[in-house]
Chains A and B, each alone.
Chain A
Amino acid sequence: MSETRTLPRASGLARFKGANNEGVLALVLVVLIIGMTIISPSFFSVGTFFAILRSSIVPLVFALAVLIVIISGGIDVSFAAIAIFAAYTAVKLTGSGNFDPGLIAIVLFACLIGALLGLVNGAVIARFRLSTLIVTLGTQGIFRGLLVAYIGSRYIADLPGSMSAVSTSNLISLEGGGANAYLHVLVVPVVLLCVLIALMLRRTMFGRGIYALGGDMEAARRAGFSVVRIQIALYVLAGVLAALAGVFHVILGRNANPQDLVGTELDIIAAVVLGGASIFGGRGSVLGTVLGVLLVQLINNSLILVGVPTAWQRTAVGVLLVIGVGIQAISAKRESKRVLVNDEVKE
């Protein structure tokens, strides 16, 4: 697909729209919130807001991992398997709650596992130039198989003390009036991660390298980027992020279940793509991704409030994906047509 850089347009509307349609997405979010408030006034409350934030914690960290892979022109479906592998193994090694090395040690250990598994992905993909979808499909099967067959298949209900302490701590708790609102403390590291990844993508050579890789791998190579090194590093980073998401999931759910998470990959990818990241690489932003994840969570939440059975969620996300990506595809087509016409004029 020919990615065409559009010239910066000066109009305020275009600036509002944002490089990856972030403005449009924000507008959709606002319209949805207003619509929901009109339908059911109880929707517009701090409690709902905090609940949506809480449900976005794990998807958002996953989405960051997926984002950097998608910007680099790849696609990763193994992140959920990496997440539960890392988190479950970390919990299991602490003797299922008997021995507690402290939260930081557990998190670091999980990240180490995530990095190793990410390294497997990155090494195979970068070394052999294989289709990222197919490699990560394969590693997904391998990681999950290894976890359940050799590490453990049992549900662990008692977490180490340091982890379960986090499970119940809230950053803000508003009580009274029958509607209690809690903002979970894990929101803090998630916001921090978003800021860090955004800075990395925009300000560091590594971040720019990821965009360059996704834009055109050969051009990136000729521009002097070490394609192999960047690709390996970004999958390691995606592995670490996935491991963090896994730990957060375990903390929020207050149990470690090896059967969890795998199967939710597609929702995350849908959210990232809705957030304006191009599946062909080279485009995407943390802001768009955050909005995409919030949109999916908001819609899931709204469906319940409106009285639509939760079973429709999957269909709703699918329809949303078709609409979001369809609009992107049609506008891309229009753009490429315009370019073709220009070419003919030149010749």
Chain B
Amino acid sequence: MAQTSNKPDLRTPGGFNAQIDNGMGAMLGRLTRDRSVVRMLVLLVAAFAFFTLLRPSIFLNPLNLENIAVSAPEIGILAIAMMLAMLTGGIDLSVVAIANFTAITITTLYAGLAAGNPGQANSLLPLILLLGLALAAVAGWFNGFLIGVIGITPILATLATMQILNGIAVVWTGGQTLYGAPESLSVIAKTTIAGVPVLFLFFLLIAVVVAVLVNVTPLGLKLQLQGANPVAARYSGIGSRGVLTSTYVTSGLLGGLAGIVFIARNPTASADYGSSYVLLVIVIAVLGGTNPAGGFATVAGVVLATLTLQVVSSGFNALRLSAYEYSIAQGVILIAVMVADQMRFRARRRKRDLQPPVPAAPETQGKS
């Protein structure tokens, strides 16, 4: 991930204290960021080692590893969308509904066209995909409008969008599973480059793009400020309306991309596909170091968290544990991570209260 290194330049005129503060803030930010990434790496390796030790033959099977790589992207993309919403201090409960809605739209359009003229349907496929993404962006814009312009709390606004989209999807499909998703997508999904599934590369590409968006662009900075302190952001002239709208449009678009991955991986679409994903995606975002109160997140952490949970999921499969046991594990992981973060935050605050602020910065480096 691109880390912006903003070292304080001591030679420039200006308050020395301000520079110290600035440098400290940057360092603290970098430390926490690095720590959540390092923690995720350790957890990923630990989870991998654990299941490898327990069931080496099943777990290290190339087929299993490929399965992990193919099933991770859709969840990972949704988790990145959730991360973006959380970064601004919100939450997007509607991402999974948006993904399903996109998948259903694309499948219906394609199947409808293919019934009449398969060749035409295939040549129009890029257009159909774009239309699906446009719908996802509109749904995201609607979220942004409700949150940024009307001023509805993100939980309720995205909850309502989720209900509306889900309801429309149920009516549209009649509660049935739709078949006939574009075959060319499934073909793409099955190809691998140097042994790595294309879907996984697509996921990494999206992660990089979002990481650049968050860390390098002015919009990314505004996003972080909006989440860290909405009042301060407003007084620094950041229009929360525009920032929130672009956030939710982006998370909607990511939801749409996840929807395309849904039908690429499995050429069917239904209204209630991935209904357990909302919890899972929040778990991943929080585990990846996203602060649900806003202002802080790393894409690398979320990518690693996605992989870790996929490893746990396939490990549970290898151990013949049920989906319900996996859901217990998700809940336990979520709460454990939040508690651990909270304890560390308190310990640091206590330390800072006891000592003068300047030497406190390097001390926090120790544990990871």
Which residues between 316 and 368 of chain B lie within 8 Å of chain A, taking CB atoms? Answer: 322, 324-328, 330-332, 334-335, 338-339, 342-343
Which residues between 236 and 259 of chain A lie within 8 Å of chain B, taking CB atoms? Answer: none
Asked if A149 lies at the interface with its beta carbon under 8 angstroms from chain B, I say: yes
CB-based contact A140/B160 at 8 Å: no
CB-based contact B282/A134 at 8 Å: yes
Asked if B72 lies at the interface with its beta carbon under 8 angstroms from chain A, I say: no
For A135, A141, A153, A322, the residue with the greatest tally of chain B CB atoms inside 10 Å of its CB is: A141
CB-based contact A311/B170 at 8 Å: yes
Residues of A within 8 A of B91 (CB): 133
Interface SS majority for chain A: helix
Interface SS majority for chain B: helix
Report if A140-B279 is in contact (Cβ < 8 Å); known contacts: A145-B331, A314-B163: yes
A314 to chain B, nearest CB (A): 3
Complex CA–CA separation, A140 to B164 (angstroms): 23
| Binary per-residue interface labels of chain A (135-172) against chain B in the complex, 1 for a CB within 8 Å, 0 otherwise | 10111111011101100010000000000000000000
Residues of B within 8 A of A322 (CB): 146, 152, 157, 160, 164
For A146, A309, A325, the residue with the greatest tally of chain B CB atoms inside 10 Å of its CB is: A325
Residue in B closest to A148 when the chains form the complex, CB atoms: B324
Q: What total of chain A residues lie within 8 Å of the partner, measured CB to CB?
A: 46
Which residues between 82 and 110 of chain A lie within 8 Å of chain B, taking CB atoms? Answer: none
Residues of B within 8 A of A309 (CB): 171
Among B152, B175, B338, the residue within 8 A (CB) of A325 is: B152
A23 to chain B, nearest CB (A): 22
Report if A319-B164 is in contact (Cβ < 8 Å); known contacts: A138-B334, A312-B171, A330-B150: yes
Complex CA–CA separation, A200 to B310 (angstroms): 46
Report if A318-B342 is in contact (Cβ < 8 Å); known contacts: A141-B327, A326-B152: no
CB-based contact B279/A270 at 8 Å: no
Residues of B within 8 A of A39 (CB): none
Asked if B253 lies at the interface with its beta carbon under 8 angstroms from chain A, I say: no
Among B146, B163, B174, B335, the residue within 8 A (CB) of A266 is: B163
CB-based contact B331/A141 at 8 Å: yes
Report if A311-B167 is in contact (Cβ < 8 Å); known contacts: A321-B156, A322-B146: yes
Among B153, B168, B335, the residue within 8 A (CB) of A138 is: B335
For this complex, 5 residue pairs linking A to B, each with C-beta atoms less than 8 Å apart, are A141-B328, A142-B335, A145-B325, A266-B159, A309-B171
